[in-house]
Every structure is written in C-alpha cells, then in structure tokens.
Amino acid sequence: MLTRFNVRVDDRASPPGDEWLRARLNLFRRFTVPSLQAQTRQPTCWIVLCGPSPSWFMDELARIRATAAPFLRAVISDAVFSPASAAEAVASVISPNFSRVITTRLDNDDAIASDYLEAIQRAAGGLTGGFVNFTHGFQLAHGRLYRRSDPSNAFISRVETKAPLTTVFVDQHQWLRRHGPITQVNESPKWLQVVHGGNVANAAHGIRAHPRELAAWFAVEPGQLEAVSPLRLRVDQARSAVQLAGRVVRRPSRLRWLYRVVMSGRSLG
C-alpha cells in the first residue's frame, strides 16, 4: 500500500500547515486507517509518504501504528514527490531478492473494502506485470452514497516481478494503460472516495446508492448518512443517471472513458 500524505508535489508549494494536517488526520482516522485495520488479509507493509513534519504530527502517526496499524511505515523525504521517490521508498522496505511486488494507491482521505487485499492477491494470480483495477466503488459526498465505475481509478494496483521497481505511481492513475495492460475486476465495490471541500474531487459523479450498502463492505466511520426512502432513491438514481449522461454529452472525450467502463464489464468478475 502506498499513501501520499504531505509530501511536496511542487517545488514552489509551501508545506501544509497545522490546520490542514489536523483536518486530513481526522479523515485518515475515520476512513483510511479503519479500512486497513479491517482487512481480511493484512498488508505486508503500508508506506505513508511524508514531507518534513511537526513533531505532533509524527507522534500521531506513531500512535496510529502502535494502536491500529502495526504495518504502517512512515517514510519522510524533503524531495519533491516523483515516480523515482516512490520507487525508492518501496525498495527501502522490501527484500532486494523479491519475487513479486504489488503496490496499491490509497489516498489519505479514502478507504478500501475489507476484502480488498485478499481480492487483489486473488486477481493478480499468475500475473508477472501490468495493473489490476477494481472497476466498481463508491463516492461519499455530503452524507449521500453514490456508486461509481472507473476503468483506471485512484485505487489501482501494479504488479512487478523484476527490478528496477517503478510502482503504481509511475504515472497518474488515468494514464497507466500507457505502461502496461490493465486487468479489470468486476466484483462488489472495492473502494470509497470521500468527497469534501479539501480534495480535488469536490462533487460526486455516480449513481446514488442506499446508505446501508456501505456497511456491507467497508469498516469506516462515515458519520451521519442521509436517510432515503425507496421512492426518493429511485428518483435520485434517475437524476444521477441523467447528470452522468449530460457530462458525457458536454465533453465528448468522455465517450472513451464510458467505452472503457462498458468494456471492462467483459473482464474478470
């Protein structure tokens, strides 16, 4: 598992302040940490990439490791984040004689389903390279849950069997098909993207789902979810579908994305 926390992504950017760190730690504790803690197959290592940080922040990470996630490894670097720095971080914690390494993206405000790591091992099977993508997941926005499908999402994994490692951060997740084949896996929802005011994706673009679906697959603390009647759910699902279609019409380039979503349904699962 690879999570960027407060690493620098731009050499001109200032490091995040205490307010941002505390807000993001709150989401990290509510969503990301419980989802790793609840895995049916525990991760070998969860690398959390950090920039130079205040002592209280590092103390909090140490507390999380001691009480909930002993597999967490904080890797600190003042360098601007790059594919090379991600690969270096992974290489620093694995055996140089590795036979296979699977790296998975996980943002510090999101979550994975409780069977994600078990499913990734199963899906990777005899793969010696390429990527594994769980097509279906959820978005959580303003107390509402939405189903979403994405053929190259921010929770994708990379399989590698030889050095030098490049990891799943070899490129932005939507462009990873340039670097190898993507095996699509169509199972139950495997990822949860939390939409809030402080992240890049600040609007939900899926089909509304009943809130009880979240508890079926995720061990997270979502807070108060908005109740919805069966009729209201049907109306909102229809509205969501129309809005999704409208986004495709307004941006014809999204037709390629829609085609890839549809075609992914013919892959594993």
Q: Is residue 72 part of a domain?
A: yes
Domain harbouring 150, CATH code:
3.90.550
CA 259 to chain centre: 22
> Which tens digit of pLDDT belongs to each residue from 75-104?
999 999 999 999 999 999 888 888 899 999
Q: Is residue 269 part of a domain?
A: no
Could you list the residue range(s) of the whole structural domain that residue 108 is in? 2-264
Q: Is residue 35 part of a domain?
A: yes
Least confident segment among 133-142, 164-173, 227-236, 250-259: 250-259
If you ran DSSP here, which 8-state letter would residue 14 be given?
A: P
Residue 129 has pLDDT above 90, yes or no: yes
In this prediction, residues 181-186 reach a mean pLDDT of 95
Residue 254 has pLDDT above 60, yes or no: no
SS3 116: helix
SS3 15: coil
- Domain count within the chain: 1
Q: Is residue 79 part of a domain?
A: yes
Cβ–Cβ under 8 Å, residues 147 and 200: no
* pTM for this model (two decimals): 0.88
Q: Is residue 23 part of a domain?
A: yes
First to last CA, the chain: 23
